[in-house]
A and B are shown apart, each in its own frame.
Chain A
């Protein structure tokens, strides 16, 4: 039981490049989330999903897109990376609404945009 996994762990991009971050969970959770963590800012919600085939915007969605084609996977895409997107990205999942149940977090992806 791996829990929540994220790939890649590290990535360096040049401004304007695109990439996709993959999150996978093996707990059969309905809800999945993408956060970014910046120094002194805590965690901020980018996008989330309440089930397969659904996505919704969080607090800071601009510049990101997501897809949830399979229940166990949640992809975060950057179409044209900007230095402001340099951050650590965390994926999380839960089996209930965000306000009610524990979220399980992945180990994070450290992204640097030059």
Chain B
């Protein structure tokens, strides 16, 4: 069965600092990978996704993520964090091919941004 691990429950960074949120997945074949962001009291919004091709993907709000098959990782990065980036971030993995509808979410990483 597929699974997603986000090792960091809570991360605090200063505004302007760089950010990396970790995501490790377990899946036998090439997965579909997603990062979502949830602002307080809001639903989830897609930041970026990886299906195939270039392993470095760009998303909205200046975020990027890199797929590393050898490490089963899909870490999210941003070079300079803004106060408005404070939110909870979820990594998710979906199965490729067929008609399987299972999308598995990690438990989330809460990002706090200090001024």
Contact = CB atoms under 8 A, between A and B. Distances in A.
- Report which residue of A48, A50, A103 has the largest number of chain B beta carbons within 10 angstroms of its beta carbon: A103
Contacts of A97: 99-101
Interface stretch (A14-22, A37-45, A61-69, A77-85): A37-45
A90 B106 contact: no
Contact of A40 (B32, B103, B107): B107
A31 interface: yes
Interface string B67-95: 00000000000000000000000100011
A26 interface: no
A42 B96 contact: no
Interface residues of A, number: 23
A48 B103 CA distance: 11
B43 A103 contact: no
A40 B101 contact: no
B44 interface: yes
Contacts of B43: 4, 90, 105-108
Contacts of B41: 107-108
